[in-house]
Amino acid sequence: MQRYENRRVLVTGAGSGIGRATVHRILAEGGRVFAVDVDETGLKETYAQAAAASAADRLTTALLDVSDEAAVRAGVAAATGTLGGLDVLVNAAGILRSEHTHKTTLDLFERIIAVNLTGTFLVIREALPALLDGDRPVVVNFSSTSASFAHPYMAAYAASKGGIQAMTHAIASEYSKQGLRAVCVAPGSIASGMTTGTGPGLPEDADMSLFAKLAPAIGQGFAGPETVAGVVAMLGSEDGAFITGTEIRIDGGTHF
């Protein structure tokens, strides 16, 4: 499928996990992508993989901290300038940290909100003028199953993702008459940079029995990030033309 031929796409969080998988999926479907992340090494790997797939000529990478207002303003300007406009924005950047709520410091809470919720808002705000001038514009935001279901030790993360979900509904309504669609994906039980390696870092005394209901109902465990990337690609294409102001849960039936 070449659903993204001549489409211009900005992807945040592109240095690993679902963001990286989304970059490769959109490139595979003919899109032009401006990919950003705070992780320079991760971005280089994303680019190297695109080069191996003979798609690097349609990919530009740049460092960007989505929680930094000035950096976002400059980064989005660079993206729209490089691409000659913007048709699709994918806000995949985010962090996941875990702690007992009664031990969560204000600094930690505010850092999670700053990256996940405020960062998503800043990128949307700066990208909206270009999107509204774009072709069939779409914003795809990243919520999480934690926004609607209990994930212990992740109150701050859940709050950030619930905010993204609510904000997406508001944006979808506000700009609907201007042709913009806004939609969320809500992944769960997905293997990514946030769930492995530098993932949630559960407290040492975490009660693992609280996670019993968080196992996927289908498959053999966590799915790969490409599982979500395929849904993101659909939402940003004409196949998702009648989907806006909602969220799509991608969790293998973890939450029936």
On whether the CB atoms of residues 175 and 182 are closer than 8 A, the answer is yes
Catalytic residue, from 4, 47, 153, 157: name it. 157
Active-site annotation holds for 157: yes
Residue 243, token pair as written in the block? 């989907």
- Alpha helices of the chain — where are they, by DSSP H? 17-28, 40-52, 69-83, 106-113, 119-132, 155-174, 226-235
DSSP strand pairing (8-12 vs 88-91): parallel
Kindly tell me the burial class for residue 114, based on how many C-beta atoms sit within 10 Å of its own C-beta (0-12, 13-18, 19 or more): middle
C-alpha neighbours within 13 Å on the C-beta side of residue 115: 19
Tally of CB atoms within 10 A around 56: 16
Kindly tell me the burial class for residue 199, based on how many C-beta atoms sit within 10 Å of its own C-beta (0-12, 13-18, 19 or more): middle
Query: What positions carry a catalytic annotation?
Result: 157
